[in-house]
């Protein structure tokens, strides 16, 4: 397993688990919201639940927060089973989707709310001091007496963040915290959140449906589908070695070609595509010979050439993206797929125009043989 | 048609109504209150404060109104709040509409008929008879302040339930989760989040009930049996029985003034309570 160098974090598995889901299933009446979730959250890591709406990621988060109790299985915090422990007893805090700030309180009153619940009482002066420190951390120093509705969306999010971290939770849960922000602000907040996590050393658990958000911030991503965890891994692992077509499609963009796995090998295996072509690639886990599979090749791993070996294609569309140019090309039997050409290649070799014929090639190791689901 | 004329045209029906039905009659009553009783009843216009000087004679009516109206309002609030809370927060959404309709159902029958029913219930052969059967004897309910209070609460409860229900229903339930998440026990969450955020509903409900109670006539007339009477009953008596319009007018003007003062104080209090809120505009 590889980890992103810049986080400086140790291997998640080596660290003490701060939160755990053991065979957790949650049913709402007939609806199965989460099914047999097994997951260990390491102390200090940034973990994301990623999946489309209704995949069970929010249910998983709410069980960690204490808003829902599992139907089966165990939720553990710091090594103790907390299945039915109420939210107000858990050392866990949450940043809510629309922030859920208290509209009748000032910024300082919102942030100090958690501290005011503690018995024996914390002296007022001490609360005020910690509130102003928390405001410093989220870069809102001096905003103590503002009303919530006077704050912009981005500022409200910082207040929500400060309100959650002031209690120094064991786990900070973030439920789609960036969904209400515009694109530019979202980018900024992503960086800030990461900084904050490293600075505070608090374990972050984020729920999102935005793959870019998950990829850019997380140490590990837990991909969910229809109530199940389908793969857990670092962003690179998920991108480079997805376990199925679903994951390859959800994390990044990829081209898929259906075929049958004819020859299985540790090195390169062979797939006969539906059009009869033979292609080689790296086989994923749990596949057997003769199985219906698909091969996945990322657009940036394909190379577009004027001539030479490869698939004969016609350039159908060209989108200039700055550092890359995205070509939609058409193959006679394989249909349309995407090729991403670096700007540098275009500058040296010249760009293709719509209607050009070209050949597409890739390294055999770049082609992944995956389950079709 | 200009914007301006259209605005005036749209306001004309309500404006006319207020002028003819409120401002003119109030002015007339105000002028009458300085007059004197004509020998054959009615009023002789004058400029004397004699009627106002006689007000203490009707002190009992003011006292009853000014005690039973606040007590009735407060009792209705205490009974209505848990009900509204249940309807808005706890009730199964499937049953909500039906339960809300059940709250209004009493309005489908005239208050007169419903108050008559209470005469029976509180009368000698009603609840006191039942209590006698279990050994509590000699309890008289009808024609007591308690009977009037029961009638008031019964009649005005829905008016209190609805505004509170509305304010609790629009309360973002995630705020309650956030409070719990931050370590507040359920009771603390109620005191710190739910209650303050439902103040607009409480304020509206109390105002509605209190103002209507100040002018109440029917319930004291039926359940108070002439022993527990409100200013409203005194007015009917003065205008229709004694035909002393001048004195009646003075009593009416005093009631309006008392009401204005109370409501002003009340509004001040509420706006101070909600000074830090944006949604106080509901008031």
Show the CA angle centred on residue B234, arms to residues B232 and B236, nearest 5°. Answer: 70
Q: Which fold has domain A5-240?
A: Rossmann fold (3.40.50)
Please check whether residue B173 touches A, CB under 8 A: no
Confidence of residue A12 (pLDDT cuts 50, 70, 90): low
Fold match flag (A5-240 vs A253-371): no
Place of tokens 């070509």: A327
Is the predicted pLDDT of residue A183 greater than 60, yes or no? yes
**Distance to chain A for B102, nearest Cα, Å:** 28
How many helices (H) and strands (E) are present in chain A, helices listed first?
Answer: 9, 20
Of B183, B193, B196, the CB nearest to A88: B183
Cβ–Cβ below 8 Å for B181 and A94: yes
CA distance A78 to chain B (A): 17
The answer to whether the CB atoms of A87 and B180 lie below 8 A apart is yes
Size of interface A-B (CB pairs under 8 A): 72
- The yes-or-no verdict on residue A2 having pLDDT over 50 is no
**Residue A312 pLDDT exceeds 70:** yes
Q: Taking an 8 Å Cβ-Cβ cutoff, which residues of chain A contact chain B?
A: 65-67, 86-89, 92-94, 96-98, 100-106, 113-114, 117-118, 147, 149, 163-164, 167
According to DSSP, residue B108 is labeled G
Mean pLDDT of A243-270: 90
Instruction: Find, in chain B, the residue whose alpha carbon is nearest to that of A147.
Output: B276
- Model confidence, pTM: 0.83
B186: which chain A residues are within 8 Å (Cβ-Cβ)?
88
Residue range A323-356, pLDDT digits in tens: 899 999 999 999 999 999 998 888 888 889 999 9
Contact list in B for residue A96 (CB cut-off 8 A) is 174, 177-178
Q: Which of A322, A308, A319 has its CA nearest to residue A352?
A: A319
pLDDT for res B276: 46
Q: What is the architecture of the domain spanning A253-371?
A: Beta Barrel (2.40)
**pLDDT of A13:** 53
A91-100, A122-131, B106-115, B195-204: the lowest-pLDDT one: B106-115
Provide φ and ψ at B60, rounded to 5°.
Answer: -55, -40
A192: nearest Cα among A140, A114, A128: A140
Query: Going by CATH, does the domain composed of B59-282 fall within 1.10.3720.10?
Result: yes
- DSSP conformational letter for B42: B
Write down the pLDDT at residue A266: 82
Convert the pLDDT of each residue in A99-108 to its tens digit: 999 999 999 9
Question: Angle at Cα A357 formed by Cα A353 and Cα A360, nearest 5°?
Answer: 105
d(CA A130, nearest CA chain B) in Å: 15
Give ipTM to 2 decimals: 0.83
Tell me the pLDDT band of B129, cut-offs 50, 70 and 90. confident
Are B182 and A149 a contacting pair at CB < 8 A? no
Average pLDDT in chain B: 90
What is the reported pLDDT for B149?
95
Which of the residue ranges A162-171, A276-285, B63-72, B249-258 would you say has the lowest mean pLDDT? A276-285
Q: Is the pLDDT of residue B279 over 80?
A: no
Task: Using the Cα atoms of residue A225, residue A231, residue A232 and residue A235 in order, give the sign of their dihedral.
Answer: negative
**What confidence score (pLDDT) does residue A169 get?**
94
pLDDT at residue A14 in the model:
61
Task: Flag if B177 and A100 touch (Cβ within 8 Å).
Answer: yes
**B87 burial type by CB count under 10 A (0-12 exposed, 13-18 middle, 19+ buried):** buried
For residue A86, give the nearest of B178, B180, B197 by CB distance. Answer: B180
Q: What integer pLDDT is reported at residue A117 of this predicted model?
A: 95
Residue A311, min C-alpha distance to chain B (Å): 55
User: In Å, how far is A252's CA from the nearest CA of chain B?
Assistant: 33
Among the ranges given (A54-58, A137-141, B224-228), the one the predictor scored with the smallest mean pLDDT: B224-228
Q: Where are the domains of chain A?
A: 5-240, 253-371
């Amino acid at each position: 397993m590889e980890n992103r160098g810049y986080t400086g974090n140790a291997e998640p598995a080596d660290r003490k688990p701060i939160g755990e889901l053991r065979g957790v299933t949650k049913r709402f009446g007939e609806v199965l919201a989460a099914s047999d979730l097994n997951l260990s959250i390491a102390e200090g890591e940034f973990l994301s639940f990623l999946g489309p709406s209704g995949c069970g990621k929010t249910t998983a988060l709410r069980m960690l927060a204490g808003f829902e109790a599992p139907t089966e299985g165990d939720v553990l915090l710091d090594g103790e089973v907390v299945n039915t422990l109420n939210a107000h007893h858990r050392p866990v805090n949450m940043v809510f989707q629309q922030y859920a700030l208290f509209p009748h309180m000032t910024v300082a009153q919102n942030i100090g709310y958690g501290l005011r619940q503690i018995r024996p009482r914390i002296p007022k002066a001490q609360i005020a001091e910690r509130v102003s420190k928390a405001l410093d951390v989220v870069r809102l120093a001096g905003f103590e007496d503002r009303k919530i509705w006077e704050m912009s969306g981005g500022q409200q999010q910082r207040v929500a963040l400060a309100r959650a971290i002031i209690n120094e939770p064991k786990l900070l849960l973030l439920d789609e915290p960036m969904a209400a922000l515009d694109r530019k602000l979202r980018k900024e907040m992503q960086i800030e959140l990461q900084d904050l996590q490293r600075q505070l050393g608090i374990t972050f658990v984020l729920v999102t449906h935005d793959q870019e958000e998950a990829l850019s911030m997380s140490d590990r991503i837990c991909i969910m589908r229809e109530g199940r965890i389908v793969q857990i891994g670092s962003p690179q692992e998920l991108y480079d070695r997805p376990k199925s077509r679903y994951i390859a499609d959800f994390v990044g963009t990829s081209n898929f070609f259906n075929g049958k796995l004819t020859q299985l090998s540790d090195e390169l295996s062979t797939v006969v595509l539906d059009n009869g072509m033979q292609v080689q690639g790296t086989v994923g886990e749990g596949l057997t010979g003769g199985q219906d599979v698909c091969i996945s090749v990322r657009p940036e791993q394909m190379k577009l050439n004027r001539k030479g070996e490869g698939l004969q294609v016609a350039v159908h569309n060209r989108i200039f993206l700055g550092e890359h140019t995205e070509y939609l090309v058409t193959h006679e039997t394989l249909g349309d797929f995407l090729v991403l050409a670096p700007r540098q290649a275009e500058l040296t070799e010249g760009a293709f125009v719509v209607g050009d014929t070209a050949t597409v090639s890739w390294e055999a190791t770049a082609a992944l043989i995956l389950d079709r689901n | 048609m200009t914007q301006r004329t259209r605005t005036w045209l749209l306001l004309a029906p309500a404006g006319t109504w207020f002028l003819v039905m409120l401002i003119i009659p109030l002015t007339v009553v105000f002028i009458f209150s300085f007059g004197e009783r004509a020998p054959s009843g009615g009023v002789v216009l004058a400029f004397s404060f004699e009627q106002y000087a006689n007000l203490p004679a009707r002190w009992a009516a003011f006292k009853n109104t000014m005690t039973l109206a606040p007590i009735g309002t407060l009792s209705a609030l205490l009974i209505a709040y848990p009900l509204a809370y249940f309807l808005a927060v706890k009730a199964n959404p499937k049953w909500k509409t039906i339960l809300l309709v059940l709250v209004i159902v009493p309005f489908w029958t005239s208050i007169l008929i419903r108050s008559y029913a209470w005469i029976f219930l509180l009368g000698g052969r009603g609840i006191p008879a039942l209590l006698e059967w279990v050994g509590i004897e000699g309890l008289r309910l009808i024609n007591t302040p308690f009977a009037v209070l029961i009638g008031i609460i019964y009649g005005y409860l829905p008016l209190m339930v609805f505004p509170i229900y509305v304010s609790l229903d629009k309360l973002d339930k995630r705020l309650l989760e956030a409070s719990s998440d931050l370590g507040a026990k359920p009771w603390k969450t109620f005191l710190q989040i739910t209650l303050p955020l439902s103040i607009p509903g409480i304020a509206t409900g109390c105002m509605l009930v209190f103002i209507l109670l100040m002018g109440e006539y029917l319930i004291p007339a039926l359940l108070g049996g002439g022993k527990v009477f409100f200013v409203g009953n005194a007015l009917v008596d003065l205008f229709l029985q004694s035909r002393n319009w001048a004195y009646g007018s003075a009593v009416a003007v005093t009631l309006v003034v008392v009401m204005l003062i109370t409501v002003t104080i009340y509004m001040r209090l509420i706006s101070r309570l909600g000074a830090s809120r944006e949604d106080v505009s509901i008031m």
